[in-house]
Copies of this chain bind each other. A is one copy, B any other.
Amino acid sequence: MSHAQRLRQRIEDEIVSGELALGSRLDENQLAARFGVSRTPIREALLQLAATGLVQAKPRRGAIVSAPEPHLLLAMFEAMAEMEAACGRLAARRLVPEDAEALQVALAGCKAAMAQEDTESYYAENYVFHTVVYRASRNAFLAEQALSLHRRLAPYRRLQLRVRQRLPQSLAEHEAIVAAIVAGDEIRAAEALRSHVIVQGDRFTDLVAGLWAPNAA
């Protein structure tokens, strides 16, 4: 694989994981020095990330890690909810034993993480769970799109899970989702995923409250 592709993944990971703060500047020279390459592959990596929306490239003014306005962020969560609902609908219709098994395993993983009250671990297991749902849709394109958006929203999701009481509720919702999919109930599966992902009520306040910290950085 080329340097540019490696760098793209690396920088994307650093953004998703929160190592690179939202809104922070991505200086080409600085990154080039840091990774020991010239500016060319750095530019190529940044342009690709800009095309996917993870970074924002202002002409002649460099690139920053995307920090969407709250209203756009809500729109992204709403779109995510719709995409996950679609995955759930299709999964409920098409479920094969293999995917049913994977869902149960992923659910067990979440349960174990919650039992230990380990937020970081739950965060990872949550990622696995949703990935399994995407794949269960048996629509490779939709699954990839959903995964891409999930990763893009990861920094904010991390903030959300910090809120106390969110873990048990999240797990209960996961259980309802699996139950609906396994039962083959398309409508219930879609609705369960939609309401699981959508940001409303208290969670809206939690999300907006959490936005202050990264903006300060």
Contacts and interface: CB of A to CB of B under 8 A. Distances in A.
A79 interface: yes
A85 B89 CA distance: 13
Interface string A1-12: 110110000000
Sorting the interface of chain A by its residue count into under 10, 10 to 19, 20 to 34 or 35 or more gives 20 to 34
A72 B1 contact: no
Copies in the complex: 2
Interface in A177-191: none
B83 A82 contact: yes
Contacts of A141: 72, 75-76, 78-79
Interface string A48-90: 1111100000011000000000011001101100110110011
A43 interface: yes
Contacts of A5: 59
A170 to B, nearest CB: 23
A86 B82 contact: yes
A83 B149 CA distance: 14
A44 interface: yes
A163 interface: no
Q: Which 7 residue pairs of A and B lie closest in terms of their CB atoms, listed nearest first?
A: A82-B86, A51-B51, A75-B141, A48-B51, A79-B142, A75-B139, A76-B141
29 contacts: A1-B59, A2-B60, A5-B59, A43-B44, A44-B44, A47-B47, A47-B48, A47-B51, A48-B48, A49-B51, A51-B51, A52-B52, A71-B140, A72-B140, A72-B141, A75-B139, A75-B141, A75-B142, A76-B141, A78-B139, A78-B142, A79-B86, A79-B142, A82-B82, A82-B83, A82-B89, A82-B142, A83-B83, A86-B86
Interface of A: 1-2, 4-5, 43-44, 47-52, 59-60, 71-72, 75-76, 78-79, 82-83, 85-86, 89-90, 139-142, 145
